[in-house]
Structure 1
């Protein structure tokens, strides 16, 4: 399977991703549920409460790394993404629809957050895909 195909497979099948930020040379990582739409290549979307620590960290340093977490220990590949994060103009309903395809129960949680939730997007041009014991390969998106 081509690396670009592995990238798409991981992005479509994974529900959560590890999201890493860094402020004052202090890294911080957390797990968030994400949405990926191949029609919007080069962007990963997620929701977050608008008053939490990660939003403050985004304001101080918009450079982030993320890695979708495979749902199965037999996953074909791992994907690493480095990019910049910003508040998104995509509607909450659009993001809920994408997330609900993979994780239907999470849609209600997002809706309950209402005005306390914001949508963010990570913008990137390339990702790194590792398959098996092979070295990571860069994939342009």
Structure 2
């Protein structure tokens, strides 16, 4: 089994992740849509700049996440640093469209009200249906 290939498969097929932020020792978790950019090795998500998660990320950029499986019990989970992306939505559009065809049409309608964020991770745990964690350096 190639853990890297399994990681990429999960990141390509799972559409939601639970993103956890924490401020003053208080955790806060929510589900978000995401895409993984294989070339830049970054997780992207689009959000409203005035959302609670953005304010929490400004106060503490360390986050934790786990993808949410649709069928089998397999996921990718990890910790990283979240920040506003230095890339634009237009630059990331091919990655967004590959995973979510038609997504950019939706984004065009709310373009002035959303921001692109990224999560940078060094390593993740890949949990497969055998329920064994596999540590992977991204």
Is the shorter-chain TM-score for this pair beyond 0.5, marking a shared fold?
A: yes
Task: Tell me the equivalent position of 2:78.
Answer: 81
- Give 1:119 shift: 0.7
TM-score (norm 1): 0.89
Cα distance in 1, alignment partners of residues 8 and 135 from structure 2: 13
1:95 aligns with 2:79: no
Task: Tell me the equivalent position of 1:125.
Answer: 122
Aligned pairs, how many? 138
- Give 1:106 shift: 2.9
Residues 1:121 and 1:28: Cα distance change in structure 2 (over 3 Å) = same
Task: Tell me the equivalent position of 2:4.
Answer: 4
Unaligned runs of 5+ in 2: none
Unaligned runs of 5+ in 1: none
Deviations 1:40-67 (A, max 9, x none): 12x1011111111111000111000112
Structure 1 runs of 4+ aligned residues shifted over 6 Å read none
Tell me how large the CA RMSD over aligned residues is. 1.5
